[in-house]
Structure 1
Amino acid sequence: MSNCEWCNLSDEDRKYLLFDDEYWAAYLADEQDYIGRCILVLKRHAGTLSELSGEEWTDLQLIIRRIEGCLKIALGADLCNWTCLLNNFYKDDDPNPHVHLHCRPRYSKPVVIGDNTYTDEEFAHHYALKKCSRVSDDDRQIIYRKMKEYLFSIL
């Protein structure tokens, strides 16, 4: 769709592509407010989860397993919170939602990336809205590399 931001990602937007397949693309999120936060985007335009085909649902389940395994093994996450919130699309006068899911990994112990230590201060509670990203660009590169290495080692 011509007026959909997810359907028209630039090369810069695709810079942190973790992997993709026939139906979904997984990206490391721009905001690393939770270490390893990523976004799964349906590769075709659909506005609600109820529009997913059986094949897309089946594939989504496999990708969720793959991402959760990656975050737990490569980064030490204890659990992953998944959300499909399309609210922001409806702030526009002409909403055009595109199905995508956010994964926020959660950590009971501090996570060391590069020379920095990150703590999930809300562990075992709901994730914080509008939390600022605290991850340096160098650490984001390390997170991306660790996740890619794990994901491609299991293919």
Structure 2
Amino acid sequence: MKSLLKLFSSVKLAIVLLIIITSTSLIGTLIPQQRSPSEYAAQFGQLANLLNRFQITDLYHSLWFLALLFLFALNILICTLTRFPAKFRKAFQPKLIKDKKNILVLKIKDSLGKNWGLAKTKEELKRELSSRHYRLKEEVEEKIVEIKEVKVEE
């Protein structure tokens, strides 16, 4: 069961299924759909029997094409459900960054060349962010202060 869940939570499987669905849709677009058998025999000759056997003459209603669509939908659903909780937690309950090296690799960072104490720095930062209409949430852990901000649109 775990291996099946792992298979369906794979983005690689989604890409492969998408390529197969796109390729077969292209075939279904190039070959006329839902015509009479005599029209297919006249247009394709012996190939008409093969097209009919693999349901390519009515591709979008064939069981195997619908099965591909179902597998793709199932894959997308399982991918979403397995990845969403972690992404949700990371977005709304971020961890406190404690190391300077981790702070320096952040995309948005800034440093001030001030020799203030922690209390003064914290108050100045709060004042500046509040003046720019940010809502602030403060967390203190082991002499590390993290101020989280969310921009409030005016």
Give TM-score scaled by structure 1 length: 0.27
* Higher RCO (Cα < 8 Å, 6 or more apart): 1
Give the TM-score normalised by the residue count of structure 2.
Answer: 0.27
Which protein has the bigger strand share?
1
Structure showing greater radius of gyration is: 2
Report the structure, 1 or 2, having the larger helix content. 2
